[in-house]
Amino acid sequence: MNANTSLTRLICRPVALALTALSLLSACAPESEPDAAVSAGSTVERPAIIAHRGASGYLPEHSQAAFTLAYAQGADYLEPDLVMTADGALVVLHDLYLDAVTDVRERFPGRAREDGLNYVVDFTLAELRELRMHERIEPESREQRYPARFPADRGRFQIMTLAELIELTQGLNQTLGRDVGIYPELKYPPHHSDHGHDMAAALMAVLENYGYVGQDANCVIQSFYPAVLKQLRFEMDVEIPLVQLITTGTHDGIDYEAMLAPEGLDQIATYADGIGPYWRLIVTDIDASGSPRFSNLVSEAQDRGLIVHPYTFRADALPDGVDADTKLEWLLKDSGVNGLFTDQPDVMRAFIDDTSSQQSVD
């Protein structure tokens, strides 16, 4: 089968068999619907499954294997974080530095800055190609952050560029007949600007080259930095949907608490199409009986025509006494979000499918 063969060629040998089986399930399933709530003011019947750094609960984050597995598990969007190299390439990595997910210290000794870290922007793309990417570890202790996940000392994974991820996604869309989108995040634009890189311009050059143009592009752009989203919307007239990520407190001079107020949401609605809040800003507390307490953030954002895509559901990092289905029920059913970032797309897909089946019976 051609689709089966193409998947096998795209992945590393240790996971090829599992991915082949999953690709068959994916190909036989009903075509995945992209998130209809990407346009401001619209609603969805089924929340969007956003594969957080790929299927990062099973394979090293941002690896080609993780993205391929996420696709096979039924994700609606593949979500890459983006940083830039010394020679201006957009690469798919979460951190400004390389130490947590690569063997940079062994491969390039003596290249670290004074803080002991090796920054992506200090290396060319060609140099990054020499690195082995692995499961996330803590740079100083060298301990694996999620011990039960893929062993950090196994596999030969490599850093991808945004263009390579797009080609993987579009190629799988063609061979499997689906329409999975991409959901890139611009990480630390001020840091890159200090090194002479315009992240927004670099991103749009790649997206436009691959046909992601206009409101109907199967793409969503996200960032914690309102300035870069405003640059895209007002200076570059980008019509691709934009999502303002929201965390707690104040970081890099950005007051995220103010974004949660009615006036803050009003302001976001002038330049973005949605918000991506930390999930604890929606489920604010869990009482002694195990019952959740919810904020009004979802309804207040949706009243302003903003979609809501919280982060991050991890089936292997749950609150005490809470199982995966319970947390998914809180976020997807009780709070009514439009989509969710997840490290385990298959777990979210199974919950949604089971819920839909039960509703059909009822």
Positions marked catalytic = 52, 94
Side-chain-side CA neighbours of 352 within 13 Å: the count stands at: 25
CA pair distance 246, 137, nearest whole angstrom? 25
Q: Is the peptide bond before 169 cis (omega within 30 degrees of 0)?
A: no
Residue 168 corresponds to which amino acid?
L
Query: Residue 352's closest CA among 311, 320, 314, 324?
Result: 324
Side-chain-side CA neighbours of 220 within 13 Å: the count stands at: 34
Query: Residue 301's closest CA among 333, 254, 331, 262?
Result: 262
Listed in sequence order, the residues at least 6 apart from 218 whose beta carbon sits closer than 8 Å to its beta carbon are: 34, 179, 180, 181, 182, 212
Beta-bridge mates of residue 181:
77
Residue 68: CB atoms within 10 A of its CB come to 26
Terminus-to-terminus CA distance in the chain, angstroms?
A: 38
146-151 long-range contacts, Cβ below 8 Å, gap at least 24? 146/57, 146/316, 146/317, 148/316, 149/57, 149/58, 149/316, 150/58, 150/59, 150/60
At residue 161, what are phi and psi to the nearest 5 degrees? -95, 165
CA pair distance 203, 213, nearest whole angstrom? 12
